[in-house]
Structure 1
Amino acid sequence: MGQWFHDNITEPGKLPMLLALTAFVLTFLLTRTVTRLIRAGRGPFRNVTPGGVHIHHVVPGVILTVIGGFGAVGSGRHGWSAAVFAVVFGIGAGLVLDEFALIVHLADVYWTEEGRRSVEVVVLASALAMLVIAGFSPLGVDSLSADEQQDRATVISTVVLNLLLVVVVLAKGKPRMALIGVLIPFVALFGAIRLARPGSPWARRFYGGRHRARARAALRSYRHDRRWNGPRRRFQNLIGGAPDAPDAPDAPDAPGSRGDTPD
């Protein structure tokens, strides 16, 4: 265990990645803490609104991400400069992905149901980064032996096969599983074998005339969502805060409420 930790976590070439991930997670948690205090009206924190324009933290996040990214590319994987730029990049990425839902919807959906997507993306990005730090390589090339790595045909065929599996999983409407499958081929294989989610491109293309397949896919999706939606929402609320309750629909006007007189 100690040797694995030394080889995969404390290896000098992976130190910038570890620093970037740490800065990323801490920035997200600190940002969510500050925004929740602002939302509750507690503490000294306030929204930044120079000239009446609300400056979202995705703006400094983009700037820091660009600086950290270009700096990391130019400084390599070793030395103090690589560590500094990795931290800058992690901070910027944390600020950007915390408002990922705002970028997708081009609207301030931070405290709405749509805003939950930001928390999902942050958790998924953190998991993928930890897998890379732990030694998993994209598309499973790390599982090849030294002799197999010398055989270009084997490497190319392995990468192509894993890539095809990832594409199938995406077509079946399982983006989270597809992303993890890029690093862990077994996950992509498992997702490719399982039934597609209803409404996915795969289901529309191949389940159109197969009533039993459509029914099984719908039932499996319903059971999966019923089992995991509750725990997932509680976890999202724990680390990201619960969204605002949707506005109640306006009640229909009562007779005479607008000053109308009955006939």
Structure 2
Amino acid sequence: MSEWFAVHIVATGRLPLFSFFVAFVAGFLMIRCSVRMIRARVRWWPGNLTPFGLHIHHVVFGVAFMLIGGVAGLLITDRNGAAMATAAALFGFGAALVLDEFALILHLRDVYWTEQGRTSVDAVFVAIALSGLLLTGLRPVGWGLWGITVDTTITQIGMVALILINFAGAAVSLLKGKIWSGIIGIFIPVISIITAIRLAVPGSPWARWRYPEGSAKLAAAIRRDQRLRRPFIRAKIWFQELIAGRHDLILEPSPAFHQQLPTVSERSTPPVRHVD
């Protein structure tokens, strides 16, 4: 095992990325374990940090860890040493805490255990997938082409065209609501091109722009979504809730703009036991 680690991680210069990945996954699992214990009101669990009644969300600590790790990474000259690995781990741990409250940042509301709070888990899963693909050695299409000298103009044009077509396909896939296909397509061109050609997901930006109400394309997209995509979505939600907990609370009515940001009812009672 140590030999494999030395050959495939250290020797390839992936030690900082490996440290980031491990710390990111560990940070997400740790904070989700903590918030689930708090939500279950386990008496012996320390709970939230609430000095003077102010609930400090863990995104604050995440930003601090990211700043420490990021600045340290800029200062460290040895890119494969233990110091760089530690800095990358601090950055990864902080990134996990920040993305775990991505929905709070996006909506500027405390939506942690609501349906909108699933956005945070989706963001974490996307980050894990991207960093995992990079850790395996995969790189976005065109990554290794920069700086390579080619002999003919036709070859240069072909390389640039391949990169542009691939990223255009990935962008269209994302606009069509096919997040995972778009992400994987950044690394594997064929996938992004195929998914860009196929029908969009109902409710996606592409469907809203291009599929008028009552059109044949919208009807076909809905049928395909119900037949093929929905079972995968249900399986994804089941797996996410197994790890992250159920997002089943209902938001309180929004107060006036100048008032304090609203909280989820279960998280606001009692005052000192907000669920992080």
Q: Structure 1 CA distance, aligned partners of 2:89 and 2:134?
A: 17
Match of 2:135 in 1: 133
Deviation track 1:205-262 (CA, whole Å, cap 9, x = no partner) reads 44339932221111112223431232112111111011234489xxxxxxxxxxxxxx
2-structure distance, mates of 1:109, 1:95: 15
- Residues 140 and 162 in structure 1, CA contact (< 8 A), matched pair in contact too: no
Residue pair 2:10, 2:80 contacting (<8 A) in 1 also: no
Kept in 2: contact 1:67–1:89 (CA 8 A): yes
Question: Is the radius of gyration larger for structure 1 or structure 2?
Answer: 1
Letter in 2 for 1:72: G
> Structure 2 stretches of 5 or more lacking a match?
253-276
Q: Does 1:195 align with 2:196?
A: no
Give the structure with the higher percent helix: 1
Question: Does the 8 A contact of 1:149 with 1:155 survive in 2?
Answer: no
Query: Which residues of 2 match residues 227-242 of structure 1 at below 5 A?
Result: 227-242=231-246
The aligned residue for residue 54 of structure 2 is: 53
The Cα offsets for residues 30-70 of structure 1, whole Å up to 9 and x where unpaired, read as 11111111111113321111121100010010111122123
**Counterpart check, 1:23 vs 2:26:** no
SS in 2 for 1:244: coil
Measured in 1, the distance between the counterparts of 2:56 and 2:125 equals: 24
CA-to-aligned-CA distance 1:170-223 (integer Å, 9 cap, x gap): 222223322232222222122112111223333344433993222111111222
* Shift in Å, 1:7: 6.0
Write the letter of the residue equivalent to 1:197. V
Report Cα offsets for 1:128-181 as digits up to 9, x if no partner.
Answer: 11100111112354599x887995434322221211111211222223322232
Residue of structure 2 in register with 1:82 after alignment: 84
Aligned residues: 246
Is 1:73 equivalent to 2:67 in the alignment? no
**Counterpart-to-counterpart distance in 2, 1:65 and 1:208:** 44
Q: Give the structure-2-normalised TM-score.
A: 0.78
Q: Which amino acid aligns with 2:200?
A: A
The percent identity for this pair of structures is 42
The 8 Å contact of residues 8 and 134 in structure 1, kept in 2 or not, is answered as no
Q: Would you say the 8 A contact 1:148–1:154 is kept in 2?
A: no
> SS at 1:180's partner residue?
helix
Instruction: Name 1:13's counterpart in structure 2.
Output: 13
Name the SS of the counterpart of 1:108 in structure 2: coil
